[in-house]
Structure 1
Amino acid sequence: MALWTIAFYNPILTKAQSEGLKIGAATKIITPELDSWVQGAGVPKKASSVRDELEANGLYFSKGDFQLLMVSCDFAGIEPDLNVRLREAMGAATGILPRDILISSTHTHGGPSLLKTNYLMPLDTAYMKDLLPWMVALAKEAVAAAQPGKIGWAEGETQIGYNRRLTWADGSHSMHGDASRKDFAGLEGPDDPQHLAMFAADFKGKPFVYTLPQYYPSHNFLCRWCFFS
């Protein structure tokens, strides 16, 4: 609750700037079928069970003639060619320019095989075919859900990721390793526990979406949207 208070003390747009702004949000389950290839960490394996559903979450903004759609998917990553095909199909279905559709990945290692990380594990082309209509439906639902609203932001600190790159006395670096070794010289860099969040709410103050960008040291940046009904 305190985080929400901070968020709306830091509005991204003033009330006057928010006039005409519409915000829509939608979510779609994008879990592949069992026995599908799992992206993993380069080790070829197939899914034998589902612990949590994978999601694609969309956040849509419009004001006047301008439209923007941001989508977060539970993938390790996505190849540029597929990214372009998805954005073009979503744009054709909604009237949003493909260049104004942004697709990001949460870098889950438990998602479908969409990156060529191991020559023994093929890309899941069957899943790619299923994904396109799911993403088109998500885009259309986010646009249809648009309502007048406002956005704000907040920041805070919590330790989610840790720097896993170790430095050795000879100047070399490695992932993980035994920090009790005599030649351990320290971590490659500091941890960054700071996190930013963006919120969207109607004009009565009822929140319906927030985003939580996260940074993992020695890894990558990701963004995950969460929605309130």
Structure 2
Amino acid sequence: MILWKIKVGLVKLMYNLEIGIGKIDISPPEGIELSGYGIYRGRRNIGIHDKLYCRALFLKFGEEEILLINNDLIGINSQTLKETREKIGNAIGLNHDRIIISCTHTHSGPATVPLIGWGEIEETYLQMLPKRFLEAATIAKQDPRKVKVKFGRSVIKEVGHNRVLPGGSIDTEVRILEFVKEDPKKVATLFNYSCHAVAIDVRTEDGFYVSADWPGYVMRILAKKGAGETFFLQGMCGDIDPKVAWHMRGFDAAREVGKLVANAVLKASGNSTYVEVDTVKVKRKEIKLPFQKINEKYIVNVLLSFLDQIEKKEIGTIEDIRAHVRFYRTYAEDMIAKLEEGMPDSIETEIQVLRLGDIALIFLPGEIFVDLGLEIMSRSPFKKMMVVGYSANYVGYIPTSIDFEIGGYASTKVPIILRQPPYLKSVGKNLVEESINLLNELTS
């Protein structure tokens, strides 16, 4: 009986946080090219299997106001990020540092980042996004409700595998945040897990439809189970794919993964415990990711490597060869032009951190390799943690040093797709240190 009284007393302390929810359909029109696979597939969508959404979560704690925008997109570029913050800041009075934007990284959504040959951007659609994000944000701020917060986690090992290192690290748990009214009805659930949204094989007919992939199935299942509005915060999945990927399967594979992850989220919900939110903080730090220095010889070596692939018959049909010739020719032209103009030595991006009581969420740019995210969680001053990738502007992959040593796709091929030099080998290590420093600032 004494324990019961203490628990009720604690719960009463927790209704000092308010949240609001907004949700807007951002599905592209038929015919817009989908993004995530190359080279020059011309994968123009033939319809919508399941809608893509922008979800907004508005948090209010005293005078502190924070907005999280979560999108069923592969990523966003720096211009979309800038315009979104300007529109939202001007319309609802939020400081840019308090606007967080992340994406689920579906590969069955429209091209929204400059991945050359991996889906052509439709400018009309791209220019529409900041307005739609603002609409979701405006709805979220209109009706905030007092909530208490629960945090939970559960083990999940049967979904993902390390696609770079056989038997390598994976994310073995799902982490959740629940926002609960006094009813105690759930207003929203945030779940965080690391696995590429690529269950739908691009080589099947299903690969030509718009879809949120397996995260969409999870969110629909959870909504039916009373989870409130659900947000998928994609984790550190740069080197993690679902085991079902690349097996010529379509929506059935996405559904299979969705059920497994949804069950893990529901298990985490059953294990979740209340967290006293007596502090809410957000911090943002601008950083630079440094490039390797390259010259004309580097470009020649890239082209020679491509010719070696042809000679070894690693590239299949004549159509495939033509697509690759186009890809590498335009790469060489673009990079030579950049060398003549003055190649940048880095790319500008940012890290954001959010604290809710003794819970911390860190929002990182790009496709983080899992070992980097696991190190951040293990060294963080917060034991209740979520590491969220694909936040702010898309910057490609942030690999471990091992990927550079083996000449992996993330460290060598993706820079070619992005038309930029490779990052320094230390890029992952440096990002981890920046992350830990910013998390430590939240404790003061």
Structure-1-length-normalised TM-score? 0.76
Please identify the structure whose Cα radius of gyration is greater. 2
Shift of 1:136: 0.9
Superposition map of 1:44-55 within 5 A: 44-55=42-53
Structure 1 counterpart of 2:81, one-letter code: N
Distance 1:165 1:47, change over 3 A: same
The corresponding residue for 1:191 is 170
Match of 1:127 among 125, 128, 131: 125
Contact 2:35–2:120 (8 Å) recurs in 1: no
Secondary structure class of the residue paired with 1:117? coil
Match of 2:30 among 31, 34, 40: 34
Deviations for 1:127-182, whole angstroms, at most 9, x for unmatched residues? 1222222111100100112111111111002233221124xxxxxxxxxxxxxxxx
Match of 1:210 among 184, 189, 197: 189
Contact 2:80–2:129 (8 Å) recurs in 1: no
Shift of 1:222: 5.1
Distance 1:95 1:160, change over 3 A: farther
Deviations for 1:69-124, whole angstroms, at most 9, x for unmatched residues? 11110111111221121122112211121211111010100111111112484322
Is 1:20 paired with 2:16? yes
Superposition map of 1:80-95 within 5 A: 80-95=78-93
- Of 36-45 and 208-217, deviating more is 36-45
The sequence identity of aligned pairs, in percent, is: 23
Secondary structure class of the residue paired with 1:213? strand
Contact 1:29–1:54 (8 Å) recurs in 2: yes
The corresponding residue for 1:108 is 106
Rounded Cα–Cα distance in structure 1 between residues aligned with 2:150 and 2:58: 15
Matched pairs, number: 191
Is 1:139 paired with 2:107? no
Contact 1:152–1:198 (8 Å) recurs in 2: yes
Secondary structure class of the residue paired with 1:93? helix
Shift of 1:19: 4.2
Structure-2-length-normalised TM-score? 0.41
Secondary structure class of the residue paired with 2:162? coil
RMSD: 2.1
Rounded Cα–Cα distance in structure 1 between residues aligned with 2:32 and 2:107: 14
Structure 2 counterpart of 1:141, one-letter code: I
Unaligned 5+ runs, structure 1: 1-8, 167-185, 224-229
Contact 2:35–2:118 (8 Å) recurs in 1: no
Structure 2 counterpart of 1:192, one-letter code: D
Rounded Cα–Cα distance in structure 2 between residues aligned with 1:120 and 1:140: 33
Shift of 1:39: 1.0
Shift of 1:25: 1.1
Is 1:63 paired with 2:61? yes
Structure 2 counterpart of 1:136, one-letter code: L
Is 1:96 paired with 2:94? yes
Secondary structure class of the residue paired with 2:89? helix
Of Structure 1 and Structure 2, which has the larger fraction of its residues in helix?
2
Secondary structure class of the residue paired with 1:70? strand
Rounded Cα–Cα distance in structure 2 between residues aligned with 1:148 and 1:194: 29
Contact 1:35–1:48 (8 Å) recurs in 2: yes
Deviations for 1:27-86, whole angstroms, at most 9, x for unmatched residues? 111001001121132343211111110011111110222101111101111112211211
Is 1:201 paired with 2:199? no
Asked which structure has the greater RCO (Cα within 8 Å, sep 6+), the reply is: 1
Structure 1 counterpart of 2:187, one-letter code: F
Shift of 1:126: 0.5
Distance 1:143 1:120, change over 3 A: closer
Structure 1 counterpart of 2:36, one-letter code: G
The corresponding residue for 1:162 is 161
Secondary structure class of the residue paired with 1:162? strand
Unaligned 5+ runs, structure 2: 1-6, 196-236, 241-366, 368-387, 391-444
